[in-house]
Amino acid sequence: MSITEVEFQAASAEAVPEQAIEGKSQWQLTWRRLRSDRMAIASVITILVIAMLALLAPAFASLTGHSAVQQYPNTGLSASGLPVPPGTAGFWLGTDELGRDLFVRILYGARISLFVGLSTTFMATVAGVAVGLISGYFGGRTDAVLARCIDAALAFPYVVLALALAARFGPSLPIVIGVITFFSWAGVSRIVRGQTLSLKEKEYIEAARSLGAGPWRIMFVHILPNLLGPVLVLATLLIPSAIVFEATLSYLGLGIQPPVPSWGNILNGAQSYYQVAWWYLVFPAAALLITTLAFNLLGDGVRDALDPRTERIFAGQAGGRKKKRRKAAAADEPAAAIAAGTAEG
């Protein structure tokens, strides 16, 4: 056998397993783990359904024939002037004290909640990542100033200032979004700064610097991709807290103003009628709870999927029972992930 033949055979022998064991990036593995997490998938479906309902709110409004702000004093109120229960006169979820269709109002409220949740989270994440990166990477005096700002924003009695701001500028949607963003970025910044501080000491950053990469290139090309995991988790968990924040402001009368419906101001109205109209309280409350719960569960799922070491109580895999100790779980998880990956592929 000649040398070339041996090399050829070796190459062909290697080629076979290479096709079987497909290389997987961290994100592919994360996606696989997330997909096997039944709670996370259920949350994604729930969120998509809510988003669809919110988008289709005008369609439902024309289907029921009721707009969100139109009052129906003849059909929508009982003889004694009280809200009518679900199913009466085409009001699927009943009416409120002015005879408005609760179902349509909740759908339109979902639009506000989702819009506020997503837009504030996006802006807070971008701002938080930028401040955290700059603060952590440059260090020194820049860091001293920015870190103080982060600490101040975190320790501030923020609800108090949020109330003051909402009161000063008059309650409106842009003010609500501004206030929530202003009080959300600091949490992201703190995490990003801490991670940047440790990442910038790594050898590969030194290597990049020795090749002549500038600070901005290092920050955004070399450090930022390694931060995406924690930032993604944090952003997913920011969404429900922003939704709760908006609902709370609106409930206090400092957010979205009636007659524009928001879950917060619907519930504010419900407070005076909870004794006679359970539906007025229960349905908007359920909408709010289901939405925030779905985002929170998704956030937990994303975190577990990104970090194989965390134990998964609800992952829906038999693997959970085999691992008694966290350390043990950490040791055999990569093997398990590869096994799961090849089994599916």
Partner 1 sequence: MSTVYFVIRRIFTGLIVLWFVTTVSFLLFFLRPANIVARLIGGRSASSATLALINKRLGLTEPITVQYWHFLVALVAHFNFGYSYYNGESVNTVLAQDLPRTASLVFGGVILWLIAGLGVGILSATRARSLFDRVSTVGVLAGISLPTFVLGLLLLRYVFQPLNEHGYTWIGINYVGLSAGVIPWMGHMILPWITLATVQAAVYTRLSRGSLLDTMGEDYIRTARAKGLRERRVIYKHGLRSGLTPVISQLGVDIGALLGGVIVVEQVFNIGGLGQDAVTAISQGNQPVILAFVVIASAFVVIANLIVDVVYAFLDPRVRIA
Cβ at position 164, least distance to partner 1 in Å: 5
Is residue 267 at the binding interface for partner 1, with CB under 8 A as the rule? yes
- The yes or no reply on residue 248 touching partner 1 (CB under 8 A) is yes
**Preceding omega of 259 cis (within 30 degrees of 0):** yes
- Which window, 22-30, 205-213, 227-235, 288-296, contacts partner 1 (CB under 8 A)? 288-296
Cβ-based neighbour number of residue 229 at 10 Å: 18
Q: How many CB atoms lie within 10 A of CB 175?
A: 19
Query: CA geometry: angle at 188 spanning 183 and 190, to 5°?
Result: 100
Binders in 131-170 for partner 1, by CB under 8 A: 152, 154-168
- Residue 289 touches partner 1, criterion: CB under 8 A: yes
Q: Least distance in Å: CB of 170 to partner 1?
A: 10
Least Cα distance to 270 among 112, 107, 91, 95 occurs for: 95
Does 275 interact with partner 1 (rule: CB under 8 A)? yes
| Closest to partner 1 by CB, 172 or 271 | 271
CB of residue 301 to partner 1, shortest distance in Å:
11
Q: What is d(CA 90, CA 68) in angstroms, rounded to the nearest whole number?
A: 14
Nearer to partner 1, 147 or 244 (CB): 244
* Residue in 278, 307, 319, 336 binding partner 1, rule: CB under 8 A: 278
Distance of alpha carbon 100 from the chain centroid? 31
Measured between alpha carbons, how far is 78 from 99 in angstroms, rounded to an integer?
A: 9
Q: Site size for partner 1, by CB under 8 A?
A: 45
Of 55-63, 123-131, 174-182, 264-272, which part binds partner 1 (CB under 8 A)?
A: 264-272
Helices H, strands E: what count in the chain? 16, 0
Provide the 8-state DSSP code for 260.
S
Distance CA 26, CA 29 (A): 5
Q: Which residues pair with 101 in a beta bridge?
A: 95
Told to check if 247 binds partner 1 by CB under 8 A, we report yes
**Binding residues vs partner 1 (CB under 8 A):** 152, 154-168, 240, 244, 247-248, 251-254, 267, 270-271, 274-275, 278, 281-282, 285, 288-289, 292-293, 296-297, 300, 311, 313, 325-327
